Structure 1
Amino acid sequence: MFSFLSKFLHRPVDEEKFGNIVLKELKRARPSDTFTLDREKFLIQYGGGGRIFLHNVYIDYRRAEPKLRKAQIDILVQGVIAPSVQDMRFEDAKAHLLPVLRNLSGIDLLRIEGGDVKPMSEAMEFRPLTDELGIGVAIDTELTIVQVGSDALTRWGKTFDELLQVAIDNLRHKAAPSFYQLGPGFFASNYGDHHDAARMLIQELIWQLPVGGRPVVMVPNRTCLLVGSAENTEALSILIDQARAILLENSRPLSAEMLELVDGSWRPWCPPGEVGQKLRRLQRELLVGDYAQQKQGLDSMLEKAGRDVFVATHSLVERKEDSQLISYAVLAKGVYTWLPKADLVCLLEGEDADTLFVSMGDFLDCAGSGVKRLPYVLPRYEVQEFPDANCMAQLRERATSIAEVKA
Structure 2
Amino acid sequence: MGILDLFFRKPSPEKFAQIAMQAARERGHQGPMEFDAPNFRILMSGAEGGAVNLHNFYHDYCQASRAGRRAVVDKYANLFVPTDIPDTFEAVKRNLLPVLRTGAFLQAAQLGPLADAAPNTGFAASDFSLDTVMLLAWDTEHLTRVLDTSQLDKWGVAKEAASAIALDNLRDLAAEQFVQIGANHFASDWNDAYDSSRILLPDLVHRVAGQHPVVMIPTRGRMLLSASHDREDLLTLVTYAQSAIQTEGRRVSTLMYEYVDGKAVRYLPADEEVARKLADLRRMALQEDYAEQKTLLDQRYEKDGTDVFVATYMLVKGEDERIFSVSTWTAGVEALLPETDRIVLGYLDEPGREGRRWNVAWADLAAAAGHLMVPQEGFQLPRWRVTAFPDEALLTALQAKSDALAAE
TM-score (norm 2): 0.88
Counterpart for residue 17 of structure 2: 19
Q: Which aligned pairs between 1:385-400 and structure 2 lie closer than 5 A?
A: 385-387=388-390, 389=391, 393-399=393-399, 400=401
Where does residue 327 of structure 1 map in the other structure?
325
Cα distance in 1 between the residues matched to 2:35 and 2:191: 31
Give the superposition deviation at 1:335: 0.8
What's the CA shift for 1:352? 5.2
The answer for the alignment partner of 2:3 in structure 1 is none
Assess, with a 3 A threshold, how the Cα gap between structure 1 residues 78 and 325 changes in structure 2: closer, same or farther: same
Q: Percent identity, please.
A: 31
Distance 2:114 2:368 in 1: 31
Instruction: Between 363-372 and 173-182, report the one with greater CA deviation.
Output: 363-372
> Letter of the aligned partner of 1:41 in structure 2?
N
Indicate whether 1:144 and 2:147 are aligned.
no
Distance 1:300 1:290 in 2: 16
Q: In 1, Cα distance between the equivalents of 2:199 and 2:337? A: 34
1:69 alignment counterpart: 69
Q: Distance in 2 between matches of 1:142 and 1:308?
A: 46
Change (3 A) 1:104 1:9: closer
CA contact (8 A) 1:319 1:402 kept: no
Deviation at 1:347, TM superposition (A): 2.1
For the Cα contact (< 8 Å) 1:326–1:402, is it kept in 2?
no
Would you say 1:377 and 2:380 are equivalent positions?
yes
- The match for 2:84 is 84
1:57 corresponding residue in structure 2: 57
Q: How does 1:206-225 map to 2 (within 5 A)?
A: 206-211=205-210, 214-225=212-223
Distance of 1:110 and 1:162 partners within structure 2: 24
For residue 183 of structure 1, what is the aligned residue in structure 2?
Answer: 182
| Range moving further from structure 2, 372-381 or 193-202 | 372-381
Per the alignment, do residues 155 and 270 of structure 1 end up closer, same or farther by CA in structure 2, a change over 3 Å counting?
same
Partner of 1:131: 130
Give the C-alpha shift of residue 194 in structure 1.
1.3
The letter of the residue matching 2:186 is F
Structure 2 partner of 1:300: 299
- TM-superposed CA distance for 1:26, in Å, is 0.8
Is 1:127–1:136's contact at 8 Å kept on the other side of the alignment? yes
What is the CA deviation profile of residues 199-245 of structure 1, one whole-angstrom value per residue up to 9, with x for unaligned ones?
0001111222235x622211111110001145222222222111111
Query: In structure 1, how many angstroms separate the alpha carbons of the residues matched to 2:135 and 2:404?
Result: 41
The residue aligned with 2:192 is 193
- Matching of residue 203 in structure 1 with residue 202 in structure 2: yes
What is the identity, as a one-letter code, of the residue corresponding to 2:329? L
SS state at 2:253 partner? coil
Q: C-alpha separation between the residues in 2 aligned to 1:356 and 1:188?
A: 46
Distance apart, 1:110 and its partner CA: 4.4
The C-alpha deviation readout for 1:163-190, integer Å capped at 9, x for no partner, is 1111011100110111111112211101
User: Counterpart of 2:77 in structure 1: which amino acid?
Assistant: V
Match of 1:4 in 2: none
Task: Report how far residue 369 of structure 1 moved.
Answer: 4.3
User: 5 Å matches for 1:209-288?
Assistant: 209-211=208-210, 214-229=212-227, 231-271=229-269, 272-288=271-287
* Residue 79 of structure 1, CA deviation: 3.5
Equivalent AA in structure 2 for residue 384 of structure 1 = T
**Residue 57 of structure 1, CA deviation:** 0.9
Does the 8 Å CA contact 1:101/1:133 hold for their aligned counterparts? Answer: yes
User: 1:160 matched to which residue of 2?
Assistant: 159
CA deviation profile, 1:51-92 (whole Å, cap 9, x unmatched): 11112111111111222211111111223315312x431111
Identify unmatched segments of 5+ residues in structure 2. Answer: 1-5
Amino acid paired to 2:294: K
Is the alpha carbon distance of 1:303 and 1:404 closer, same or farther for their aligned partners in structure 2, counting shifts above 3 Å?
farther
What secondary structure is seen at the aligned counterpart in 1 of 2:181? Answer: strand
Conservation of the 8 A alpha-carbon contact between 1:27 and 1:34: no
- The separation in 1 between residues aligned to 2:241 and 2:329, in whole angstroms, is 34
Structure 2 Cα separation of the partners of residues 182 and 250 of structure 1: 17
Match of 1:99? 98
Q: How far is the alpha carbon of 1:41 from its aligned partner?
A: 2.5
Q: Secondary structure at the match of 1:378?
A: coil
Q: State which drifts further: 67-76 or 345-354.
A: 345-354
1:402/1:145 Cα in 2 relative to 1: closer, same or farther (>3 Å)?
A: farther
Q: TM-score, normalised by structure 1?
A: 0.88
Deviates more, 1:351-360 or 1:199-208: 351-360
Task: Give the deviation of 1:339 after TM superposition.
Answer: 0.5
Alignment-derived partner of residue 312 in structure 2: 313
RMSD of the TM alignment (CA)? 2.6
Would you say the 8 A contact 1:82–1:144 is kept in 2? no
Residues 199, 205 of structure 2: 8 Å contact kept = yes
1:363 and 2:365 matched: yes
CA distance in 2, matches of 1:232, 1:44: 48
Which fold has the larger relative contact order, with Cα–Cα distance below 8 Å and residues 6 or more apart in sequence?
A: 1
Whether the 8 Å CA contact 2:27–2:80 is kept in 1: the answer is: no
> Larger deviation: 160-169 or 41-50?
41-50
State which drifts further: 357-366 or 146-155. Answer: 357-366
Tell me the secondary structure at the aligned position of residue 237 of structure 1: helix
Instruction: Describe the shift of the 1:402–1:214 C-alpha distance in structure 2 as closer, same or farther (beyond 3 A).
Output: farther
Q: Cα deviation per residue 1:120-155 (whole Å; 9 max; x = unaligned)?
A: 996322001113100001110112211121122212
